[in-house]
Structure 1
Amino acid sequence: MATAFIPSKMKAFVYSENGNPADVLKLKTDIAVPELEEDQVLVKVVAAALNPIDFKKMLGLKTTVPTVPGFDVAGVVVKLGSKVENFKEGDEVFGFIDIQKSLQDPKVSGTLAEYTAIEEKLLAPKPKDLSFAEAAGLPLAIETAYEGLERIGLSTGESILVLGGAGGVGSLVIQLAKNAFGASKVAATSSTGKLDLLKKLGADLVIDYTKENYEDLPEKFDVAYDTVRESDRALKAVKEEGRVLTIIGTPTPPAIPFSVTSNGSILEKLIPHLESGEVKPVLDPKGPFPFSQTVEALSYLQTQRATGKVVIYPIP
């Protein structure tokens, strides 16, 4: 395969000061294409997904400027670092940039750009039957869902309550709990208009949080997976020896907090579930948003009304 032409400059969204995305995020056309470290590959970005941490960083969460935001990526490998062993030019990949590294290292460049540099250990081969847009919507959310279920120790035959079942992480927790962990019963909460989606994803019990308090149900659950910062209420919804895991904020003890670590081997482990159709990406029906509408897409994500993942495609 001929080596891909790689320009020295690229289009990328950049913010040079903290603030609301609508005010500070700008499209630039002269950003330097990232230099590779020896364990990295250069990916031509085809699609990228948005996450709440993108606007939280912009608003001032432990960030340095100027910064190219974005973590999730699906694209094509176009250049290899000197110690890369598992990929070659032309490979279609997906994964997400290490969040902790990006908070600590101002040189880390995000995925809302034509090219991004990312460690090979954070990537996996893109599932063949998924589009780039679908694949981009998975990495951070599915790793959070899977590792969180492992951390809380969901076992075959146990019941689980998923708070925020229509969100990017929650929609995957429902599917993984049912199809990968063998949960006996999956309950999930959402607003009225998203209840049908929860049923399609495999939820056995759907709860409209606008009409009923899940903690008042007579039935109690073995595990609660909290994606909406309601650990205090979740603790009332589990059995006496039940467990609660939360992925946002500081939970009420004995609920435990969880933060994902980027790991391409987790994605590889989950590829069979994705290729069999047992687990499907859920993309917000308003998208995908073209690259030019990235600011509008981030503003939409901030409303907390998105269903599943908000994806930017195509790039550029």
Structure 2
Amino acid sequence: MKAWQYDEYGDVNVLKLSSDVPVPTINDDQVLVKVVAAALNPVDFKRRQGYIIATDSPFPIIPGHDLAGIVVKVGSNVKSLKEGDEVYGDVMERALAEPKQFGTLAEYVPVDEKLLALKPKNLDFLQAAAIPLAIETAYEGLERAGFSEGKSILVMNGAGGVGSFAIQLAKHVFGASKVAATSSTGKIELLKSLGADVAIDYTKENFEDLPDKYDVVYDCVGQPEKAVKAVNETGVAVSITGPIPEPGFDFVLTANGSMLTKLGPYLESGKLKVLVDPKSPYPFNKVKEAFTYLETHRATGKIIIYPIP
């Protein structure tokens, strides 16, 4: 099969497109998925740069967490999926503790059954690939922060993959009383369209100096010192980018397909919208260009690779 892989750490130039990679085998609890579309995430390039060298899998590594595709083979213990099912998911259950050698930037990938869900019928493969890691991270962060109906939230980088879902989940699933979010000038209207009641242009205002304080501050940027300044006296800040002072905590997603299944009705009804960067999709042979763009941190929503191949 064709696959992107690397056998040393470094910048985008360590990525090589191979056409003779053996199709992976599956175990009894896995399915083999023909990948139709994949999404890129910051964790993909951080891994390639050697950030998780202590726990990483052996080389060569095929990068990629998110996929949407079709089940083509089913392990003997698999109960809920069958050949021909259209599925989506994040294939790395514990991305930092147990990164897998076989990611989604390949024609085929073995995936644990529990990490997948049936693709929402109203979304195409390209849209579905944009969802899993981002929506699962946004949801788990809100749950861990004890977010609930009537609470207020500030989302830092509301135009990004996780941030765009954090706004929508807080508003439409959890029932927030007030949703604020930050972005650059050109993305303010986008924040409002996603459900933000207050859209803050971080190029013009320092959100941490404003009088409003929040029950939850969700840091999707990596500005922990600022995040905790916007928390109210009983609130908490949550970070997905690393350590954060009190009253804050950081976490790393534990991926699971049941979360996608639970949120499926909100996606199918259109209450939750998928944000795909306007430059997407990138064709399979342009993965290096796609990563180069992702690493500028200027993307709006998710960067998608489609079709594969």
The reply to whether TM is greater than 0.5 is: yes
**Residue 267 of structure 1 pairs with residue 260 of structure 2:** yes
**Matched residue SS, 1:32:** coil
Q: Distance in 1 between matches of 2:95 and 2:287?
A: 23
Q: Which residue of 1 aligns with 2:30?
A: 40
Q: Distance in 2 between matches of 1:68 and 1:223?
A: 36
Q: Distance in 2 between matches of 1:113 and 1:182?
A: 39
Deviation at 1:51, TM superposition (A): 0.4
Task: Name the aligned partner's letter for residue 175 of structure 2.
Answer: G
Q: Identity across aligned pairs (percent)?
A: 60
Is the CA contact (8 Å cut-off) linking 2:218 and 2:237 kept in structure 1? yes
Is the CA contact (8 Å cut-off) linking 2:6 and 2:16 kept in structure 1? yes
Task: Name the aligned partner's letter for residue 58 of structure 1.
Answer: R
**Which ranges in structure 1 are unaligned for 5 or more consecutive residues?**
1-9
**Which ranges in structure 2 are unaligned for 5 or more consecutive residues?**
none
Q: Distance in 1 between matches of 2:258 and 2:264?
A: 10
Q: Which residue of 1 aligns with 2:211?
A: 218
Please list the CA deviations of residues 261-307 of structure 1 after superposition, one character each: whole Å capped at 9, or x if unmatched: 11100000000100010101100001111111111001110000001
Q: Distance in 2 between matches of 1:177 and 1:54?
A: 26
Task: Name the aligned partner's letter for residue 97 of structure 1.
Answer: V
Q: Please give the residue correspondences for 1:27-176 in structure 2 after superposition, counting only pairs within 5 Å.
A: 27-61=17-51, 62=53, 63=56, 64-100=58-94, 104=98, 108-176=101-169
Q: In 2 relative to 1, CA 101–156 (structure 1 residues): closer, same or farther, beyond 3 Å?
A: closer
TM-score, structure 1 as length reference: 0.94
Task: Name the aligned partner's letter for residue 29 of structure 1.
Answer: S
Q: Distance in 2 between matches of 1:101 and 1:86?
A: 24
Q: Distance in 2 between matches of 1:221 and 1:103?
A: 32
Deviation at 1:230, TM superposition (A): 1.5
Given candidates 5, 23, 26, the residue that maps to 1:14 is: 5
Q: In 2 relative to 1, CA 181–104 (structure 1 residues): closer, same or farther, beyond 3 Å?
A: closer
**Matched residue SS, 1:55:** helix
Given candidates 251, 254, 279, the residue that maps to 2:247 is: 254
**Residue 298 of structure 1 pairs with residue 291 of structure 2:** yes
Task: Name the aligned partner's letter for residue 70 of structure 2.
Answer: V
Q: Distance in 2 between matches of 1:124 and 1:100?
A: 17
Q: Distance in 1 between matches of 2:140 and 2:264?
A: 15
**Matched residue SS, 1:100:** coil
Is the CA contact (8 Å cut-off) linking 1:45 and 1:315 kept in structure 2? yes
**Matched residue SS, 1:169:** helix
Q: Distance in 1 between matches of 2:98 and 2:111?
A: 15
Q: In 2 relative to 1, CA 263–233 (structure 1 residues): closer, same or farther, beyond 3 Å?
A: same
Say how many residue pairs are matched. Answer: 305
Task: Name the aligned partner's letter for residue 228 of structure 1.
Answer: V
Q: Which residue of 1 aligns with 2:274?
A: 281
**Matched residue SS, 1:142:** helix
Is the CA contact (8 Å cut-off) linking 1:71 and 1:99 kept in structure 2? no
**Residue 200 of structure 1 pairs with residue 200 of structure 2:** no
TM-score, structure 2 as length reference: 0.96
